[in-house]
Amino acid sequence: MIVQSDTVLTDPKDSGPRGYLVRPNDERAYPGIVLIQEWWGIEPHIRDIAQRLASEGFVVMVPDLYHGQIATEPDDARKLIMMLRGNVERALREVELAAEYLRKQPGVLPKKVGMMGFCVGGFLTFKMACRYPHLGASSPWYGGGIDPRTEDISNINAPMLAVYGELDHGIPLDQVRAVESALKAAGKQAEVRVYEGAGHAFLNPSHGAYHEASAQDAWARAVALFKQHLV
């Protein structure tokens, strides 16, 4: 059984940033994971992922980057994502607040947290891996817009599993391979997996081009990463 909360303030001094918190229903301490939404917002799929992670033995915090808004149509999602990308630093700050919230909880151990994100959440996860010092592991999924020439990859200090779909037309394979080469050249403990036959958002059965074999394999690998480096 898991416990859920929709009204967690990630910063008690600020009534704005909030998050969706999920944890196992007992008094034990568990590792923490920050889960970052796709461009739809904190929709049922993201809540389901949070619950699945909690069932694996993690405390999960999902920062509400859209501040209560959820898109159900691509046009609405596109408008929301444009606003977010117009202020990426604010989004990164709210992700950091979520991570710090987890680290301060007595029921979260160790004090290095995991981070996992999808689509724009994958982009933000990668950005945070390059700047946030308290990560134990990260897993960005199909996050586009990463330019290894401008990212401070040298600051990545935790193992990473980066997940992509071969048929994701929004993220060219040469861009993925450039990221992979930059991680390897920097000597980072990072695995880049490209799934054949899978497109963008292949884990999402509601909005993406769900690809069952790839989804199952990538999910198992991500959970194993967090269990290895956080538990």
| Catalytic residue (choose from 14, 26, 64, 168) | 168
| Catalytic residue (choose from 6, 11, 14, 119) | 119
Supply the DSSP string of 2-55, one letter for each residue: EEEEEEEESSTT-SS-EEEEEEESSSS-B-EEEEE-BTTBS-HHHHHHHHHHHH
At what angle are helices 212-230 and 44-55 packed, to 10 degrees? 50
Whether residue 119 lies in the annotated active site: yes
Whether residue 152 lies in the annotated active site: no
Check if the beta carbon of residue 60 is closer than 8 Å to that of residue 30. Answer: no
| Catalytic residue (choose from 200, 207, 211, 229) | 200
Whether residue 200 lies in the annotated active site: yes
CA distances in angstroms from 149 to 126, 146, 165, 179, 181, listed in the order given: 14, 9, 22, 9, 11
User: Minimal CA–CA distance to 33: which of 55, 61, 11, 10?
Assistant: 61
Report the catalytic residues.
119, 168, 200
